[in-house]
Structure 1
Amino acid sequence: MRTDAPHPTPAERARRGKAARERVPRSSHAEFEPGPDRPDPVEVLDRQSAGRVPDLVPVRYGRMLESPFSFYRGAAALMAADLGNRPRTGIETQLCGDAHLLNFGLYASPERHLVFDVNDFDETLPGPWEWDVERLAASMAIAGRDNGFAAAQRRDVVRATVRSYRQTMRGFAGMRNLDVWYAQSDTDHLRVLFADRLGERGRRRLARTLETARSRDHLQSFERLTEVVDGTRRIAADPPLIVPLGDLLTDTHRAELEGHLRRLIECYGHSLSADRRHLLGQFRMADAARKVVGVGSVGTRCWIVLLLGRDDDDPLFLQAKEADPSVLAPYAGPSAYANEGERVVHGQQLMQAVSDIFLGWERVTGIDGRQRDFYVRQLHDWKGSVRTDRMPPDRMRLYGELCGATLARAHARSGDRIAIAAYLGSKDVFDQALAEFAEAYADRNERDFRALAEAVHPGRAVAPRE
C-alpha cells in the first residue's frame, strides 16, 4: 500500500457525493418497476439449488414458503438481480449483500463484551452502498406486513430506519478515521441510547434478551448438542437439522469424509494469526455433523465440528460453512479473492467492529472429488437475536433505527463516508423515497412468493410435506 498516494480532500469528497445526485437523484430511489426481461423467480431459485445437497433442497423451499418474509430471507439472489439493473450512485463500499433485519444480532467480542452488529456475510462484496440500504428498508416493510402493520405504520418504520442510516453516516463523515474504526455498539451503549424510549417493560425485555445471549455460548452448545456414547462424547443426532457423520454415510465414506474435515480444520488454521493458530492447536477433533442453517443457506454444505482441549470438559465448537460466489457478483463484479471463504472472512472483518477470533477460511476436496471453499468460525459465542415476528410498530421502529445506524457504521469503515453523507444530505428526500421503494418491492416479493408456492409440485420446487 502506498502511503504517498494522493488523497482527495473532504471538500472534494463531498462534491463527489453531491455530483452523484445529478446522475441518480435521491427521489429516483422510490421507483421500482422491473422490466419484461426480469428472470423467472423460481428458475433463479432452482439454479441456486442445483449445486446444493439434494435432500436438503425441499427443506429450503419449505422454510421459504412459511411466509412472504421467510421467502424474502431466502431470495437474496432475486433482489440482487433487481438491484443490479437499477441506476447506481457510483459510490461503493463493502456490502453485506443480504442486509435484512434478521441479519443483525448480538455476539461476544474477543474482550468479552456483548456487541450488536451485522452478522451474516455470505454475500459480502464491494458494491453500491445503496443496495444494502434498499434491502434493509424492504425487509422492514415486508416484516411489517407479516406482523399486520398498517401501511402508515410500515412507512414510519422504514423512514425511521433510513433516517437513522442517513444521520449516523453524516455523523461519521465528520469523524477522524481512527474514531470511525474504533466505533462499536456494545450493550452498555444500547442501554443508554434507548433507556428513555423503551419504558420499564421494554428495559426488562432487553435485559432478558442480553442475558439469553450471554448464556448461548460454547458450553451451552456442548450440553445441548452432545451426548456420551459408550464413554465417548459425540454430537447428538437431530435429523434432518443435525446428522452426525456416523448416521450420514457408510463406514468407508464416513472415514474419508472425516479425513477431509480433519484436514479442513488443520489447514484452515493457516488463515488465522499466529497466536490464534497456537490456541487452535491445543484442541483435537472429536466428532462432526452436518447442520442445516438459516433459510437462504439451506442446502449448502455446513458442518459443525466438536473439538476437545485439556480434557472432555474443555470443548470448542466450530462451524465450517460452504462459501459460494456472492449473489451480487453478476452485477457488482467478481470477488478479488480466489477463495470464496476468504471473500467472506475479509468482508466480515472489514464491516464488523470486532470479529470472532477463530474466523478463517480454507479450500478442501470433498469425497465427490470437487473442490469447495469454506469459512470457519465458532458455532455460538454469546449469540443473540431479536424476535421480530410479534414486534409492535413502535418497537420495530426502534429496532430499525438500531439496524440503520449499525449498517451506516459498517459502510463508513470501508466506503467514502463523506461522499455518501453528502449524497444523502440533511433533508429526508432519500428516506421518503425508500419508503416508497420498500412498499413497491414488498408487492413484488408477495408475487414471487406466490409463484414459488404455485411451482411446488413433483419435478420442480418440492417443499417437505408435514
Structure 2
Amino acid sequence: MARKRSQPDDREPQFVPPDERRDRGKALRADVPREAHGQWKPGKDRRDVVDILVESNRGRMPELVPLRFARMMQSPFTFYRGSAAVMAADLATTPASGIRVQACGDAHLSNFGGFATPERRLVFDINDFDETLPAPWEWDLKRLAASVVVAGRDIRLSETEANRAARATARSYREHMADYASMHALEVWYDTIDVDRFLKAMESEERRRIVAERIERTEARNTPEYIFPKMAEHRGAMPTIKDDPPLIFHPTREQAPGQESRYAEAIARYRSSLAEPIRVLFDRFHLCDVAFKVVGIGSVGTRCAVALFMAADDDPLFLQVKEANRSVLEPHAGAAKHKNHGERVVIGQRLMQSASDLFLGWAQVENGSHVYVRQLRDMKISAVIESFDAGDLRDYGRVCGWALARAHARSGDPALIAGYMGASEAFDDAITDFAVDYADQTHKDHRAFVKAIRQGRIEVAQEG
C-alpha cells in the first residue's frame, strides 16, 4: 500500500527572532539582577577546603598525590589551578540567570592557548575540557575573571592593574557575545581566532613581535625530526619512550593492565570512536610503546599515558591517553548524559572548540577506566603568564574572554545571554567585583592549605 504523502506544515516556523530572544534575556534581570553577580561571601556551611581537595583525590594514583599538592602549594595561582572542585561548590551557591551552555568547568587563564587545526592553521582557543558539562554560563566567566585577578597578584601587579585586566576580560566576553548574537548560526560555528586576529587584539607592538617569534619557533619544532629524539630512543628492534621519573615512567602491569595484549581491546575501542576516514589514517600506525606522564596541576595523579605509534622508521605519532573521571560540576549541575566520561570530554570539546584534534577520541581501558585520546603535541602554545606586565595581562584576558564567548555561543543562545548582560558596563563591574572578592577567598584558602601541609594533614613531595 502506498504511503500517504504528508501535507505541508503551514504552522509558524519554530524559531524566535534574535530581538525577541534578547528581550527575553533582558527580562531575566527581574529575577536575577546583574548586580547580584558582584558579590562573593562564603556561607556558614561552606565545606573545609582541605576536605574537598582530599576527596578529589579518589581514584588518583596515590604515589602522585603528594606531587599534585606540592605544585598547588607554590602560590595562590597554582592553588587556584588545582582547586576547580572547590570553586565549583562555591559557584553553585552564587546567582545564575538560568541560561545554560556547554561549560568548560575549569576556565582559568592557563587553560587557553594556541594549537594547530587539522588544516594546519594555528588558532587560539580553550584547550582543557576535563571538567566540561552543561552548566550556567556565568560559572565559566566568573572562574576566568577571578583567575585574572589571582594571576595579576601573583606577578606583583597593583590591585588597580589586576582589577582592570579582569574588567577587560568581562567586557570582552560581553561585547563579543553581542556580536555573536547578531551573526547567523553557521557564522558563529565557523568563527575562529586565528593567529592574525590574535595578534591584532594585542595593543603592544612589542608583545606582538614576541608572540610572532614564539610561533615561528613552535612551528619549527613541530616536526618528527625534532620531537622524536626528545621523546624516544632506539633500544633493540623497536623505539621506546624515554623515562624521566617521576614525570615520565613505564608503568607496572598493575598500573596498566593490558600490556600482555598490547592494549588491543582499548585500541580497538578508541579506533571505533574515530570517524571512518581517520580510522584509515590511524591504521597506518602501529603501537611501539606506552609510558605514563604527569601533566598539569589539577590532573596530577589521574592516569595519563603517552603512546608511541610508528608508520615507518621516520614516521612517529605520539598520542596522549588521559583518564577522564566525573566532572567537578556534576554534583552541582547534574549528571553527565554520556556513560563514558572520555566521550563526555570529547563531545564537550567538539562543541566548544572551533577546531579539534584529528585523533580526538575516547575508550574504556582494561581496568575499566574511561579515557580520551588526542595528539600529545600539535603546535601547542601556552602563555607564559609569569612574564606578563599589566598590558599583557589585559590583552590576554581580552582574548580569553573572546574565546570563551565564542565557545558559549556555539552551544548556548548568544542573543539570550547578550540580552541579559546588556550594553552598559553594569555586568562588567559586577563580574570584576566578584573576581576581586573570590581572589581574596583564594588567598585565604591557599593559606589554609599551606597550614594543613605544615600540620601534617597533607603530604607533599617535590619533583626531581
TM-score, normalised to structure 1's length?
Answer: 0.93
The offset of 1:150, in angstroms, is 0.8
DSSP 3-state at the match of 2:365? strand
Q: Is the CA contact 1:104–1:120 (under 8 Å) kept in the aligned structure 2?
A: yes
From 83, 86, 98, give the equivalent of 1:78. Answer: 86
Query: Alpha-carbon deviations, 1:357-391, whole Å to 9, x = none?
Result: 1000111232xxxx111000000011111101121
Query: Alpha-carbon deviations, 1:238-267, whole Å to 9, x = none?
Result: 0010002xxx326x9877435363422232
Q: What corresponds to 1:432 in structure 2?
A: 429
Residue type of the alignment partner of 2:338:
Y
Query: Alpha-carbon deviations, 1:312-360, whole Å to 9, x = none?
Result: 2110000110000110011110111111011000000000000001000
DSSP 3-state at the match of 2:263? helix
The offset of 1:282, in angstroms, is 1.0
The offset of 1:447, in angstroms, is 1.2
DSSP 3-state at the match of 2:385? coil
Q: What corresponds to 1:452 in structure 2?
A: 449
From 204, 217, 227, give the equivalent of 1:212. Answer: 217
Q: What corresponds to 1:412 in structure 2?
A: 409
Residue type of the alignment partner of 2:210:
R
Alignment of 1:298-313 (within 5 A): 298-309=300-311, 311-313=312-314
DSSP 3-state at the match of 1:7? coil
The offset of 1:210, in angstroms, is 1.1
Residue type of the alignment partner of 1:143:
A
Q: Is the CA contact 2:338–2:344 (under 8 Å) kept in the aligned structure 1?
A: yes
Between the aligned partners of 2:257 and 2:37, the Cα distance in structure 1 is 54
From 236, 241, 251, give the equivalent of 1:235. Answer: 241
Query: Alpha-carbon deviations, 1:419-454, whole Å to 9, x = none?
Result: 100111111011111111111101111111111111
43-52 or 260-269: bigger deviation:
260-269
Q: What corresponds to 1:389 in structure 2?
A: 386
DSSP 3-state at the match of 2:113? strand
Query: Alpha-carbon deviations, 1:258-312, whole Å to 9, x = none?
Result: 5363422232011110000111111110000000000000000111100001x12
Say if 2:2 is the partner of 1:33: no
Sort the Cα spacing of 1:386 and 1:255 in 2 relative to 1 into closer, same or farther, 3 A.
closer
Q: What corresponds to 1:99 in structure 2?
A: 107
DSSP 3-state at the match of 2:320? strand
Alignment of 1:25-424 (within 5 A): 25-194=33-202, 197-199=203-205, 201-217=206-222, 219=224, 220-244=226-250, 248-249=251-252, 256-257=258-259, 259=261, 261-309=263-311, 311-366=312-367, 371-424=368-421
TM-score, normalised to structure 2's length?
Answer: 0.94
Residue type of the alignment partner of 2:103:
L
Between the aligned partners of 2:400 and 2:174, the Cα distance in structure 1 is 12
The offset of 1:6, in angstroms, is 2.5
Query: Alpha-carbon deviations, 1:109-143, whole Å to 9, x = none?
Result: 11110010000000001111110000000000000
**Structure 2: any 5+ residue segments left out of the alignment?**
1-8
The offset of 1:465, in angstroms, is 4.5
Residue type of the alignment partner of 2:23:
R
DSSP 3-state at the match of 2:382? coil
Query: Alpha-carbon deviations, 1:397-433, whole Å to 9, x = none?
Result: 0111110011101111110100100111111011111
The offset of 1:61, in angstroms, is 0.2
Q: Is the CA contact 1:212–1:384 (under 8 Å) kept in the aligned structure 2?
A: no
Between the aligned partners of 1:117 and 1:380, the Cα distance in structure 2 is 15
The offset of 1:457, in angstroms, is 5.6
Q: Is the CA contact 1:218–1:317 (under 8 Å) kept in the aligned structure 2?
A: no
Between the aligned partners of 1:345 and 1:72, the Cα distance in structure 2 is 24
Between the aligned partners of 1:344 and 1:7, the Cα distance in structure 2 is 29
Q: Is the CA contact 2:18–2:182 (under 8 Å) kept in the aligned structure 1?
A: no
Sort the Cα spacing of 1:151 and 1:258 in 2 relative to 1 into closer, same or farther, 3 A.
farther
Sort the Cα spacing of 1:129 and 1:227 in 2 relative to 1 into closer, same or farther, 3 A.
same
22-31 or 347-356: bigger deviation:
22-31
The offset of 1:50, in angstroms, is 2.4
Q: Is the CA contact 2:266–2:366 (under 8 Å) kept in the aligned structure 1?
A: no
More helix by share: 1
143-152 or 8-17: bigger deviation:
8-17
Q: Give the count of matched residue pairs.
A: 452
The offset of 1:214, in angstroms, is 1.9
Q: Is the CA contact 2:132–2:348 (under 8 Å) kept in the aligned structure 1?
A: yes
Residue type of the alignment partner of 2:208:
R
Alignment RMSD:
1.8
Between the aligned partners of 2:461 and 2:97, the Cα distance in structure 1 is 42
DSSP 3-state at the match of 1:49? coil
210-219 or 157-166: bigger deviation:
210-219
Q: Is the CA contact 2:104–2:133 (under 8 Å) kept in the aligned structure 1?
A: yes
Sort the Cα spacing of 1:90 and 1:314 in 2 relative to 1 into closer, same or farther, 3 A.
same
Q: Is the CA contact 1:216–1:384 (under 8 Å) kept in the aligned structure 2?
A: no
221-230 or 318-327: bigger deviation:
221-230
Sort the Cα spacing of 1:299 and 1:254 in 2 relative to 1 into closer, same or farther, 3 A.
closer
Residue type of the alignment partner of 1:322:
E
Q: Is the CA contact 1:21–1:423 (under 8 Å) kept in the aligned structure 2?
A: yes
Sort the Cα spacing of 1:410 and 1:312 in 2 relative to 1 into closer, same or farther, 3 A.
same
The offset of 1:458, in angstroms, is 8.2
Residue type of the alignment partner of 2:61:
V
Q: Is the CA contact 1:158–1:400 (under 8 Å) kept in the aligned structure 2?
A: yes
Q: Is the CA contact 2:77–2:147 (under 8 Å) kept in the aligned structure 1?
A: yes
Between the aligned partners of 1:183 and 1:216, the Cα distance in structure 2 is 27
